[in-house]
């Protein structure tokens, strides 16, 4: 058993867990605008909880390739009412997908259980806010910024480069008072990577686990799935499941997905088989 405390709840991260995506944005690549009203966000939250999600990941800023930045006030206005309403109505861990220090602070106050930061706390003030929040933090690797990250990304060795970056952020976090035991790593599939880079990172998921951290994978419906299978975004479920199944066998334990039920069932069976070996 490998317990991690997410606010007032804990998860055994020796087992797989599904993180359901709740984008409260108008422009996310797959579901932009679908859950931008409070009622629709709560309906989707209830659906994902019933389907077995362990975590709901609320995001108020799209970080898809080419996305336009949002202001702090826009992000606060999108995220906080949804977070507060979820915590009032449901017994579930809520992750907040943000890089903004003010959002980190306010989310912690309202009961968030995890901060999921695609910029690995590099935004000014985010590191200090995360240290004060005293919550688990997911550090993700992104090369460049969303507006330009997919313009000819280049690495000398993608696994080593991503690993070195994430470990450098771990060192910075520890120096700021964020305990190592609170950190989760995400190699950042699709964030400043070519198709080959993404495939190599997924095939080396165990490398990040061996660094001594739990690993989160976010590959749901992404371009790499479409590139391999030549499928549009709304037909990438099976490809997503294949990628996540591969990552599970290599040590990943948190899976950020749009389609909760099929992943819960797949991972439950895979975990049960693994425990019987």
| 221, burial (CB in 10 Å: exposed 0-12, middle 13-18, buried 19+) | buried
Residues 6+ apart with CB under 8 A from 155: 143, 161, 162, 197
Residues 6+ apart with CB under 8 A from 107: 79, 80, 83, 96, 98, 115, 133
Q: What distance in Å separates the CA atoms of residue 264 and residue 55, rounded to the nearest whole number?
A: 12
Decide if 256 is catalytic: yes
Kindly name the residue from 221, 222, 236, 253 that is annotated as catalytic: 222
Kindly name the residue from 64, 143, 193, 256 that is annotated as catalytic: 256
Closest by CA position to 84, among listed 55, 110, 114:
110
Beta pairing, strands 183-186 & 214-217: parallel
Phi/psi at 20 (nearest 5 deg)? -85, 130
Kind plus residue range of the DSSP H or E element containing 137: strand 137-140
Q: What distance in Å separates the CA atoms of residue 79 and residue 189, rounded to the nearest whole number?
A: 24
Decide if 9 is catalytic: no
Dig out the tokens for 57 from the structure: 């990941």
Q: What distance in Å separates the CA atoms of residue 242 and residue 239, rounded to the nearest whole number?
A: 5
Contact 259, 47 (CB under 8 A): no
Return the active site residues: 222, 256
């Amino acid at each position: 058993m490998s317990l991690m405390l997410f606010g007032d709840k804990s998860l055994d991260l020796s087992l797989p867990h599904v993180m359901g995506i709740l984008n409260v944005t108008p422009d996310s690549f797959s579901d932009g605008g679908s859950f931008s009203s409070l009622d629709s966000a709560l309906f989707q939250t209830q659906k994902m909880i019933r389907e077995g999600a362990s975590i709901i990941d609320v995001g108020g800023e799209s970080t898809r390739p080419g996305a336009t930045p949002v202001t702090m006030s826009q992000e606060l206005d999108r995220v906080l009412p949804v977070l507060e309403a979820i915590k009032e109505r449901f017994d579930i861990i809520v992750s907040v997908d943000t890089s903004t220090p003010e959002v980190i602070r306010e989310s912690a106050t309202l009961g968030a259980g995890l901060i999921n930061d695609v910029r690995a706390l590099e935004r000014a003030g985010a590191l200090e806010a995360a240290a004060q929040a005293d919550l688990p933090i997911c550090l993700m690797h992104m090369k460049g910024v969303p507006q330009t990250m997919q313009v000819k990304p280049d690495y000398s060795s993608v696994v080593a480069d991503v690993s070195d970056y994430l470990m450098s952020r771990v060192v910075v976090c520890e120096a700021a008072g964020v305990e190592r035991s609170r950190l989760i790593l995400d190699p950042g599939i699709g964030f400043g990577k070519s198709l080959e880079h993404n495939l190599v990172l997924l095939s080396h998921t165990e490398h990040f686990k061996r660094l001594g951290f739990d690993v989160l994978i976010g590959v749901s419906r992404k371009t790499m799935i479409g590139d391999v299978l030549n499928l549009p975004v709304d037909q990438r479920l099976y490809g997503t499941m294949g990628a996540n199944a591969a990552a599970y066998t290599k040590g990943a334990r948190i899976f950020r997905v749009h389609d909760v039920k099929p992943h819960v069932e797949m991972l439950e069976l895979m975990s049960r088989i693994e425990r019987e070996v």
